[in-house]
Homo-oligomer: A and B are copies of this chain.
């Protein structure tokens, strides 16, 4: 069913139909009504491909995430979706699963489909791939740590604000041996979190030396706690680079019969929805997924709609802050740190996958 079909039935030209549909004000109200009647009657929907072809705009935004199964992302996707519906856009979602091949194909797909802009929420993407997008003048927005080229919108996360709060909170509870379970090493965002932890610790005169590497997954959290447990001077509190890691810690603590928070205080990072429902409820640093998605979408939208204007702001900042729940408490008297009683374990933790999230 064509626009021509509509034109024929309404006894006008296709130009008029197009104008009526797009609500151009100069068209005679009588005629417009006639057109709309036919449109509704036949259930006609304009072909967006044809429209995109002539307009040079697809009304599609690309969204590249690193791993849709990481509970951090669905919230973002949902908000992005909401905004898309509101503004008549579609989303082209790709998930890189940390695979260079998938990153490449993601970018290729974005270009092939001629998206109007791309939000990139994955890291370790080859510089050359990004160059590909830039060559084509596709508006880009990076979350967290994109390349620092002018002309690319960048949403910076203020990690220090929330992490400092967390560390101070722990210190106020008289913890002195505070460990950190980092994310995968190649991941810039994980690096930034770790740095924020280190500076926060130094600020209050504590040595940030208890650091083990996780993978931003539950599996990594489990293994990390095992490692922490082997240390001679065991920590009385542990900060995790993200909530999934913290959930892993909680889980392994249960196996080891380590009581949280009495034997060990734990704090997470991200404040995913789930964090409210862990056992015990997780004290964590909040980084609003909703806010993040909103900023990203609007940055893109702004770039597309008023690309004439001298693109004022190209750097946004999202602050983080501590939310207190029940996984932290006062440090015990010195010496009585982690004392496993009996083990709950019946199964070994799974080996962490080699590639690693966000």
Q: How far is the CB of A5 from chain B (nearest CB, A)?
A: 14
Q: Which of B52, B105, B277, B346 makes the CB contact (< 8 A) with A326? A: B346
Q: Are A109 and B135 in contact (CB under 8 A)?
A: no
What residues of chain B lie closer than 8 Å to A75, measured between beta carbons?
A: 69
What residues of chain B lie closer than 8 Å to A93, measured between beta carbons?
A: 77, 81, 91, 93
Q: Are B81 and A95 in contact (CB under 8 A)?
A: yes
What residues of chain B lie closer than 8 Å to A50, measured between beta carbons?
A: 49, 53
Q: Are B277 and A218 in contact (CB under 8 A)?
A: yes
Q: Are A78 and B69 in contact (CB under 8 A)?
A: yes
Contact code string A118-140 (vs B, CB < 8 Å = 1, else 0)? 00000000000000100100000
Q: Are A112 and B46 in contact (CB under 8 A)?
A: yes
Of the stretches A178-186, A245-253, A315-323, the one at the interface is A245-253
Q: Give the complex CA separation of A132 and B44 in angstroms.
A: 11
CB of A43 closer than 8 Å to a CB of B: yes
What residues of chain B lie closer than 8 Å to A43, measured between beta carbons?
A: 132, 135
Apart from A47-B53, A49-B50, what are 20 other A-B pairs with CB-CB below 8 Å? A43-B135, A45-B111, A46-B112, A49-B49, A49-B53, A49-B114, A50-B53, A53-B53, A69-B78, A69-B273, A71-B74, A74-B74, A77-B93, A78-B95, A81-B95, A85-B109, A91-B92, A247-B277, A254-B280, A278-B279
